[in-house]
Structure 1
């Protein structure tokens, strides 16, 4: 589900220079098993994991603030456990999604370490944050665009610890094999594949814009990926910051590409009516039903979990899989960033751990989405995460989701423009309304 975060617009300043669980199963009653004979040889020696530097913080307490709760909080605790065990530190956490709480804490009793789903705090608390270079962070483990994203006036203040990618398309390998389709590697190949599917009597796409008050966000994601193909990441950033108007010719081209598929029942399930009225989760399910209603669905990483929950008998890599949008000049997605309000030994220990090899390996093994730390590669155990991590590592850049990065009035107008256009409103008229909202919101 989309979140609407007005403050997240601030992250654009740092970005301008840069080029979602399976259903629970009953616990089986263990059956008696025979006693195993003692080994005749010594067990193999397990190589030690990466060394953890406590920075002289043994036995100290670290305060952290983040938005994670429930299962996500359990995962961050699991990520930090090797550091806690090795150094004997204790973690005192505050979890909140309220920006007012963050603001109050930052200005009165700031946490040693902050984890936040945008770089907005960079501008809000620039003078309070510590330079990451001085608190143990290793920039060599991150792509240059991540460091650019987390810098203000030459100061590196935020580093990503968690990321999710959206520039992907889900499909059934079994169905592709059945019809002789191959995964496209260029945008032209994707367009040709879509036409081949239509010629075979198959519906290429399943689309669903319906999401209650947020209806339209899936269209925004799809159009952004088309923009990444046709125009590139800087163009996307310029739409977010307002230097390119939302009714620009490049936007119109992307809408026309999207509309060709979204409005025609030869290309998407139910045509325009189906696109507008289908709930976004149902759009995912249609590709993997028996028989399938469509061949592909453009959706972010959480779709794999949705498929596994809806169809527990399906196997990842056989019955459902994904490929990166071919031809996209970068990835769109979301990220959580780490910032330090303290340069104490325990704060340094956390930062050094999270940005080094030990933290990267643990993050990947826990499977808390993706770590932008390049040292995490090779440590994932989940097959889907392995593939997503490779896609992220190979990306030329990373752009935030437009809908998560613009003021609410502009975002609402963008969604309306998408729905109106699919329903038959003249494109220039639809885009004019969104462009006016963009100008008002960013003036």
Structure 2
């Protein structure tokens, strides 16, 4: 599912802003006051000549993250004379369609769901990348990433930020004190889990409560196991419904999830029995690691922001993370994740200029230097990533053995990926049988 951090509703009061229906709009650009003729603007010379123009951007990114976005392109905006009018909305997925249908499409949009961008490409509303932007994208990102923004052989988007959804959070101190080594294979992961049980520690904590989105963390478990157990080709077939949701491969993956999440010896450290997973929020679920009430927690890289104030997130700190190990060696290093893709609804010169800049490593480095963000760009300067888990995420994505796949539920029809899949997994945690759960989700798949 879309990164939960995108759902925060508090608006940072420190920025000048104009409240609009469904979101917030931040004003930047010429207000920054940089002199386009100064040496500071030399790096933007190729995009100058657009004084007095405005480019609108619409996305789901709000609050502090939106502030950092504004800061990341403020110098570009000042030096080029292009005012970037940014609007972030918690209702992005629904409102972008309303805007397009109403003839009020933004110039650019940041899509957290590749399928949504593809829908606009197929309808003829989104515009394929200009050659200059395509060249930047092809040199900057792997084929795995670009495939998600490719429709009928045309590239319609460039990747922006990224997150890793296969992190296992743990306490380095607990591991060190008990002689547990960070696992590199699935068998080692289970060996550590069993050792924790023998040492009187519940090896796993979990929580899938998330308001109207309750259930999504359990879908991450299934997606991670599908990718690791059956490989990227079968994973893609499952996500695209080329095999049914109740295929034996999916049942096998869910049975493996069952061996952890519905194993009373393994869960739910610090919270209760198995069924407490359904009522424990994903935000609170990992915190018992700090008190050594549980050993590990599967949750995305964005969870770094959820630890209590004062928690040291580092390899030798209070908490850190490792990528969920592979199950079958022939599938390389599976990495489940997400991110945003920049799509365009206009091709005016100033819009193309902004597209070009946002597709460069210089922009990626600008945003990375502000913290709380990383990218899958091949040339991102990792030394700019001060947060250890940001660097770990970027290094994981850059691994030559990495096999990246996008969050499956974000790729499925919304009625399934953000509907029956979530509900089915919640009911499964509460006791529904695997066969019953998978049949329920399969029956809900749209016929066309």
Q: TM range, normalised to the smaller chain? A: 0.7 to 0.9
The answer to whether the 8 A contact 1:273-1:423 is kept is yes
SS at match of 1:136: helix
Quote the offset at 1:408 in angstroms: 4.4
Give distance in 2, aligned partners of 1:99 and 1:426.
32
Q: In structure 1, which of residues 25, 50, 65 is the aligned counterpart of residue 57 of structure 2?
A: 65
SS at match of 1:204: strand
Q: In structure 1, which of residues 357, 360, 363 is the aligned counterpart of residue 361 of structure 2?
A: 357
Give distance in 2, aligned partners of 1:234 and 1:253.
16
SS at match of 2:337: strand
Give distance in 1, aligned partners of 2:53 and 2:119.
27
Partner of 1:316: 314
Give distance in 1, aligned partners of 2:318 and 2:226.
29
The answer to whether the 8 A contact 2:288-2:294 is kept is yes
User: 1:402-441, aligned counterparts within 5 Å?
Assistant: 402-411=408-417, 412-438=419-445, 441=446
The answer to whether the 8 A contact 1:66-1:116 is kept is no
Partner of 1:331: 335
* Higher normalized strand content (fraction of residues): 2
The answer to whether the 8 A contact 1:117-1:337 is kept is yes
Please give the root-mean-square deviation of Cα atoms over the aligned residues, in Å. 2.8
Quote the offset at 1:224 in angstroms: 1.2
Q: Where do 5+ consecutive residues of structure 1 fail to align? A: 5-19, 25-46
Quote the offset at 1:385 in angstroms: 0.8
Partner of 1:401: 407
Q: Where do 5+ consecutive residues of structure 2 fail to align? A: 13-38, 328-332
The answer to whether the 8 A contact 1:410-1:437 is kept is yes
The answer to whether the 8 A contact 1:50-1:357 is kept is no
Partner of 1:102: 96
Give distance in 2, aligned partners of 1:206 and 1:101.
36
In structure 2, the CA distance between the partners of 1:49 and 1:381, relative to structure 1 (3 Å rule), is farther
In structure 2, the CA distance between the partners of 1:339 and 1:81, relative to structure 1 (3 Å rule), is same
CA distances 1:7-34 after superposition (whole Å, capped 9, x unpaired): xxxxxxxxxxxxx9xxx9xxxxxxxxxx
Quote the offset at 1:319 in angstroms: 0.8
Partner of 1:265: 264
SS at match of 2:200: coil
Quote the offset at 1:245 in angstroms: 1.2
User: 1:244-323, aligned counterparts within 5 Å?
Assistant: 244-269=243-268, 270-289=272-291, 292-309=292-309, 312-317=310-315, 318-323=317-322
Partner of 2:217: 218
Give distance in 2, aligned partners of 1:267 and 1:316.
25
CA distances 1:158-212 after superposition (whole Å, capped 9, x unpaired): 1111121111100010110010111111122212221222222221101123333
Give distance in 1, aligned partners of 2:132 and 2:118.
16
The answer to whether the 8 A contact 1:263-1:271 is kept is no
Instruction: From the CA coordinates, give the structure whose radius of gyration is larger.
Output: 1
Matched, 1:132 2:136: no
Give distance in 2, aligned partners of 1:122 and 1:423.
35
**Size of the alignment, in residue pairs?**
397
Deviates more, 1:58-67 or 1:405-414: 405-414
SS at match of 1:330: strand
CA distances 1:82-118 after superposition (whole Å, capped 9, x unpaired): 3123323222234343456434544635433222222
Give distance in 1, aligned partners of 2:177 and 2:65.
38
In structure 2, the CA distance between the partners of 1:70 and 1:212, relative to structure 1 (3 Å rule), is closer
Partner of 1:367: 371
The answer to whether the 8 A contact 1:204-1:294 is kept is yes
